[in-house]
Amino acid sequence: MRSRRTPLLAAGLAMALGLAVVPFGTQAQEFTSSQRQALDHIVAVVNEGAIMHSQLEERIAQVRSQMSAQQQELPPERVLREQILEQMILEEIQWQMAEESGLTVDDTELNRQVRGIAERNGMSLEQFADALEADGLTLASVREEIRREITLRQLQQRRVGSRVTLSEREVERFMAQQGATREQAQQALFQRKANAELEAWLQEIRSQAFVDNRLDAR
């Protein structure tokens, strides 16, 4: 039986990076290379890239494990698959944009993030690596997934942050209505507007991308 540590570590990763969805690529099914080649196929074409069936299955297994650990009710299977594939499509579009923009994360920042995640889970870096290994992962693979997620966060901040503006009147109204300090009002209003702008931006880039969803093609 697989350990349940991976979902908890993934949840810690999500909070550390401040992202809505940040499951890292856990090995969901023990396929051999030949089995993967025989069973794998494209479930979505995204511009010049593709999402494979094996990648979708791994993500679905990760989400199921996380939701089970958090005692959340799973949606119907078909709905779950469609929602997860759509999220993966959005991530692929953003990753392509990040690569085109030349966004990178240096090793110093990456090491700081990895140490922070280990510490928030009450572990040393060595213990963190051992916990990942117990779940069939390696520290190197998780480092690269963290690098990817930080890169996507940088892209979102660059594209969305400039769209968010606050007026003095908005801040003062929020302070009066909520009894908040100026700093609290600014933070709350910025986060609310940023979330709305992010959603609008994601819909925008999704509509502009070439996507061939083949989930029901087989």
Range of the domain at 83: 5-162+194-213
Is 171 among the domain residues?
Answer: no
pLDDT score of 1:
38
What are the contacts of 69-76 at 24+ separation with CB within 8 A?
A: 69/4, 69/7, 69/8, 69/11, 70/7, 70/11
Question: What CATH code is carried by the domain that includes residue 76?
Answer: 1.10.4030.10
Give how many domains the chain has, as a whole number.
1
Per-residue pLDDT of the chain (218 residues), as tens digits, is 333 333 334 444 443 444 433 333 333 334 344 445 557 899 999 999 999 999 999 999 989 988 988 899 999 999 999 999 999 999 999 999 999 999 999 999 999 999 999 999 999 999 999 998 988 788 998 999 899 999 999 999 999 988 899 999 999 999 999 999 999 999 999 999 999 999 999 999 999 999 999 987 66
pLDDT score of 72:
93
- 42 in helix, strand or coil? strand
Q: Please report which helix (H) or strand (E) contains residue 50, including its range.
A: strand 49-52
Give dist(CA 174, CA 2) in Å, integer: 48
Is 189 among the domain residues?
Answer: no
Give dist(CA 107, CA 114) in Å, integer: 10
pLDDT score of 218:
62
